[in-house]
């Protein structure tokens, strides 16, 4: 469907922000082996060796000063670390995006923040209103529970907020501190998650402004019957990531339907979409989406690059991929689809056109 209140709304600018601690996969593997081998089965230790040596991910960035804080981190310390870094990285990304757009904080009318890796009340949005100096009248929303796909429902809402008043400006911010959900055990889901996920934030400025990307249309698809295939569950007061081995096939089906519902009303074909900002859920998922949509290897180089250099940052990662697409070059008038999927099971797509 075409965005109801966002016609003519553009992504004027966007920016990403990553924490300073960088860990190679070799470093991360050695850390786990050193501190957790005694708690793990022989099978788990063998799986760690296998997944951490996979070439699809080379390094990741984390929101801590030292990984030692992860060892038996208590819930109070964990939520404090989440709050500190989620607010800080969001502020960094927002400041950079506002500067790129040439927009001052007092011009912002709407703010939407999404995260799935920590819960605080009041939400991150209220911290940012103060830190960024946004007007007290700002319409602010905190979205939770969207998982890796959360950035695109956020974008839909932010576009509607920006389009709700003449000259409106909205900030769309996605931030995840996946390390704040770190757990170690023999479950395959935990081992794979610990080898894949990382931390980061992204912010976009939306408004009726020249240049940037026009937000043309969006679509979403939910398959609640597959809720347990990708979700967080609570164990002993902590979040545990749960990922099914069926996920690539499930994502493949959801993506096909979501993209079809996005393009058909506009009489566009997949072949007309040159650029694809895909969420990098992992190499198997990238390959499944590539095959289902008939994309070329060149079209998935940006998503493979982000997965290699940053890992899976959950919801903000799709913005990192769009950033990589811009870095490689996108011409005025060319189409781009942002495509993300996550908890629900859900899939979301946004059709953009470069200004």
Q: Which of 230, 149, 150 is nearest to 189 (CA)?
A: 230
**Residues 126-167 pLDDT 10s:** 999 999 999 999 999 999 999 999 999 999 999 999 998 888
**Residues 168-204 pLDDT 10s:** 999 999 999 999 999 998 999 899 999 999 999 999 9
Cβ-Cβ contacts under 8 Å for 129 (sequence gap 6 or more): 111, 136, 138, 140
**Residues 211-220 pLDDT 10s:** 899 999 999 9
Please give the mean pLDDT across all residues of the chain.
Answer: 93
| Amino acid 164: pLDDT | 86
**Residues 39-89 pLDDT 10s:** 999 999 999 999 999 999 999 999 999 999 999 999 999 999 999 999 999
Catalogue all structural domains in the chain, each as residue range(s) with its CATH number. Answer: 10-207 (3.40.47.10), 213-354 (3.40.47.10)
Q: CA of 232: how far to CAs of 40, 193, 319, 343, 353, in Å?
A: 21, 11, 22, 8, 34
DSSP state, residue 37 = G
| Amino acid 7: pLDDT | 52
Quick check: 2 pLDDT over 60? no
Quick check: 289 pLDDT over 50? yes
| Amino acid 248: pLDDT | 82
Q: Which helix (H) or strand (E) holds 325?
A: helix 317-328
The confidence band for 240, taking pLDDT boundaries of 50, 70 and 90, is low
| Amino acid 1: pLDDT | 39
| Amino acid 226: pLDDT | 82
Tokens at 276, concatenated: 């694809």
Quick check: 6 pLDDT over 70? no
Quick check: 268 pLDDT over 70? yes
Quick check: 247 pLDDT over 80? yes
Q: Which residues are catalytic?
A: 148
| Amino acid 132: pLDDT | 98
pTM tops 0.75:
yes
| Amino acid 333: pLDDT | 95
């Amino acid at each position: 469907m075409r965005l109801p209140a966002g016609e003519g709304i553009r992504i004027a600018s966007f920016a990403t922000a990553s924490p300073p601690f960088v860990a190679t996969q070799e470093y991360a593997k050695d850390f786990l082996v050193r501190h957790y081998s005694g708690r793990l089965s022989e099978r788990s230790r063998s799986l760690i060796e296998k997944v951490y040596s996979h070439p699809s991910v080379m390094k990741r960035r984390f929101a801590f000063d030292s990984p030692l804080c992860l060892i038996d981190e208590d819930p109070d310390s964990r939520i404090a670390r989440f709050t500190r870094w989620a607010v800080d990285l969001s502020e960094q990304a927002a400041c950079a995006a506002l500067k790129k757009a040439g927009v001052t904080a007092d011009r912002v009318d709407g703010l939407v923040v999404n995260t799935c890796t920590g819960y605080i009340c009041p939400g991150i949005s209220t911290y940012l209103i103060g830190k960024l100096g946004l007007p007290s009248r700002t319409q602010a929303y905190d979205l939770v529970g969207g998982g890796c796909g959360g950035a695109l429902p956020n974008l839909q809402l932010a576009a509607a907020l920006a389009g709700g008043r003449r000259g409106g400006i909205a900030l769309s911010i996605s931030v995840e501190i996946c390390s704040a959900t770190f757990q170690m055990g023999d479950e395959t889901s935990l081992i794979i998650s610990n080898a894949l996920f990382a931390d980061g934030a992204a912010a976009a400025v939306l408004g009726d402004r020249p240049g940037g990307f026009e937000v043309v249309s969006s679509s979403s698809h939910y398959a609640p019957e597959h809720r347990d295939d990708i979700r967080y569950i609570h164990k002993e007061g902590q979040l545990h990531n749960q990922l099914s081995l069926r996920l690539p096939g499930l994502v493949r089906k959801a993506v096909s339907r979501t993209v079809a519902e996005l393009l058909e009303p506009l009489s566009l074909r997949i072949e007309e979409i040159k650029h694809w900002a895909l969420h990098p859920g992992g190499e198997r998922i990238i390959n499944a989406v590539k095959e289902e949509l008939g994309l070329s290897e060149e079209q998935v180089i940006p998503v493979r690059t982000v997965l290699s250099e940053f890992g899976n940052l959950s919801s903000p990662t799709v913005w990192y991929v769009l950033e990589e697409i811009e870095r490689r070059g996108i011409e005025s008038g060319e189409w781009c689809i942002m495509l993300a999927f996550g908890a629900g099971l859900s899939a979301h797509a946004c059709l953009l056109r470069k200004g």
